[in-house]
Amino acid sequence: MGSSVQPAAAQPRWDRINSAEVIAQARRVYFHFLESSPTHPDPLGVVIGPLQGRVVFELPVLLPEEHFISLELVRGRSPRSRSARSPLRG
């Protein structure tokens, strides 16, 4: 019998989900965490499920309907995207 548990390293299937909606939901969970627990260390990311989300501090084991969103995606604005829009371009 095969396991229905997804390894934590697996990236969300961006072609099967609404990425903007999932990342927005992850941001809401993360910012709620920051408001309620400002002194905790930074988490690794957020796990989003069909009815809830949670902040995680170690790599989780995911259920089939859950998605792990890394903290870099939750926070947004990677250094690569900034360098693509140089203010010195003419």
One-character DSSP codes across 23-88: HHHHHHHHHHHHHH-TTSPPPSEEEE-SS-EEEESSPPPBPTT-EEEEHHHHH---HHHHHTS-TT
List all residues 6 or more positions away from 82 whose beta carbon is below 8 Å from its beta carbon: none
Label residue 83 by pLDDT band (50, 70, 90).
very low
Label residue 53 by pLDDT band (50, 70, 90).
very high
Query: Is the pLDDT reported for residue 68 higher than 90?
Result: yes
| Average pLDDT of the residues in 45-49 | 93
39 or 56, higher pLDDT? 56
Do the Cβ atoms of 53 and 47 come closer than 8 Å? Answer: yes
- Give the largest Cα separation in the chain, rounded: 60
Query: Is the pLDDT reported for residue 17 higher than 90?
Result: no
The structure's pTM equals 0.70
| Average pLDDT of the residues in 56-74 | 91
| DSSP strand pairing (67-70 vs 53-56) | unpaired
